[in-house]
Each structure stands twice: as C-alpha cells, then as structure tokens.
Amino acid sequence: MQPGRNTPLASGTQVPLIGFGTWDITGDDVRPSVLRALEVGYRHIDTAWGYGNEAEIGAALRESGVPRDEVFLTSKIPPRRIGLEDQTLTGTLRDLGTDRIDLYLIHSFPTEQESPRLWEFLVDARDRGQAISIGVSNYTLEQIDDLAVSTGVPPDVNQIRWTPSLYDRQVAEGLSARCVVLEGFSALRKANLDEPVLLDIAGNHAVTPAQVILRWHIQHRFITLPRSTHRQRIAENFDVWGFELTDEEVARIDALGARGVAA
C-alpha cells in the first residue's frame, strides 16, 4: 500500500482512502467494473451482504490476479440478518472467496437493544480472526457513544453519507475525537457537480468537479467510495493524486456544507 494514500484505523490497520463503491452494481456489470477498478489502481472495495454482488466481486478478484493481501475488502451485515449472523458472515466470506474481511460493519442502526448485541457478534468475529477491523454505518455520535459505553469496544469506522454540501464540522471532529475514522458514501450522487465553487476550483487544476470532491475528502483524511460502471469515470475517480487543493480552496468547499464553517 502506498503511504499518503491510506489512513490508519485505531486497530493499526491501514485503509486506502479511496475505495471502489459497489452498491447497485449487480449481475454482468460487476466483473468489468471491479476488473477496471483494480486495473487503474483501486485496492479497496466496499460491498455489503445486501448488495447481492459479493460472489461476482469474489470472482472478479480471483480473475484479476491481484493478491488477496493487496486488496482491502469491506462488507456489512444489515439489522434484518439479526438471528442469522453466523450464516451472513460465513456467506460473505464464502462469496468473496476469503477467510477474513478487512472491515466488517453494521450496515445501519438497528434498535437500542439490538445494537450492542449485534456489535458483540462483530467483536467475536474480530476475535476469531474473521474480521480484521470492525465498525458501524449510519450511526450518530450518540449511538456510537452508547455502543462504546455498553460494550467497552468503540468502532474503528463510521460509514455515513458525506459530500461537501453535507459537511458538518461537528460530526467530523466528533468522530475524530473518538478515534473513529469517517468513511463517506454518496460523495458524487449527493453532490451538485454544477456547483459554481466546485467548477471554479476544478478549473484552477484542470480537473473535474468530481475529482475536486474526491480530493477534498483525501485532504481531510476522510475515506471516500466513488462508484461508477463507466470505464472512463472509474479511472477519473482514482486519478486524484496529481494535484493539491490549497487551504483556501478546502475552506471554500467546507463552506458549502451548512455546518461546515466554524461557529
């Protein structure tokens, strides 16, 4: 893994800051998309039991010839699989063709009673070596605190919807203060790619607004998970290492978030 392109989790594991998102990529679209992502340099793939594409991702990984150790794999267990946790994780590992997942997440907050119980399953999975790191998704800071208090084990990651217009400094700083890495999703889908500030900054660097958004994540050390099924865009979204936003540009992008500016 290349230094500068990764961020450490509290567990010590290094995670590539750009992962390939795979929600809604199914069937015949999976193989070419994943192969293309690996070809242009992604070494982090985000999937979930609920995406129904783990078997196709596993097949594409094997076909790519990229060694398993070089790819950071994330999957998630949804609350509706409570009671079927073992089968869910076993199925994920089987379909991906691996004996361990690099990051295993609770896909969304279940109930106050279920959250610590499901979390204990992830902790056990980590203790058994089936998951290297564990985390949550779509949790609030309060829900993370409750989990940490009730189980004594804070998550390594919180995967949440995140794009400049949703930038919330309190959430970013709150996660950082808890040593929980912020992993953003829907960075492009929830963005306005015609936003004048993004267009202006993109012009400064001869890149696209999508690349500006992804670069903004990297400079904040947020993980981001762009998804595309188009060869050119898959490459474009990973081609963000050759330019740097100025501090002023980062601040202008922060200010697109309703709560991005310090009070």
Ligand X SMILES: NC(=O)c1ccc[n+]([C@@H]2O[C@H](COP(=O)([O-])OP(=O)(O)OC[C@H]3O[C@@H](n4cnc5c(N)ncnc54)[C@H](OP(=O)(O)O)[C@@H]3O)[C@@H](O)[C@H]2O)c1
Which of the residues are catalytic? 51
Q: Does 139 bind ligand X (CB under 6 A)?
A: no
Strand pairing partners for 137? Answer: 159
Q: How far is the CB of 263 from ligand X (least distance, A)?
A: 28
- Tell me how many residues contact ligand X (CB under 6 A): 25
For residues 88 and 94, what is the distance between their CA atoms, to the nearest angstrom?
10
Phi-psi label, residue 100: left if phi above 0, alpha if psi -120 to 50, beta otherwise: beta
Task: Compare residues 100 and 233 and give the one whose CB is closer to ligand X.
Answer: 233
Binding residue for ligand X, selected from 115, 121, 237, 245, defined by CB under 6 A:
237
Range 202-221, binding ligand X (CB under 6 A):
208, 210
For residues 46 and 94, what is the distance between their CA atoms, to the nearest angstrom?
16
Q: Which stretch binds ligand X (CB under 6 A): 3-11, 53-61, 78-86, 231-239?
A: 231-239
Q: Which of 38, 51, 40, 42 lies closest to 15 in space, CA to CA?
A: 42
Q: Does 225 bind ligand X (CB under 6 A)?
A: yes
Q: Does 227 bind ligand X (CB under 6 A)?
A: yes
Task: Compare residues 6 and 208 and give the one whose CB is closer to ligand X.
Answer: 208
Q: Does 75 bind ligand X (CB under 6 A)?
A: no
Three-class SS of residue 110?
coil
Helix axes 209-220, 231-238, angle to 10 degrees: 40
For residues 85 and 77, what is the distance between their CA atoms, to the nearest angstrom?
8
Task: Compare residues 133 and 228 and give the one whose CB is closer to ligand X.
Answer: 228
Q: How far is the CB of 108 from ligand X (least distance, A)?
A: 6
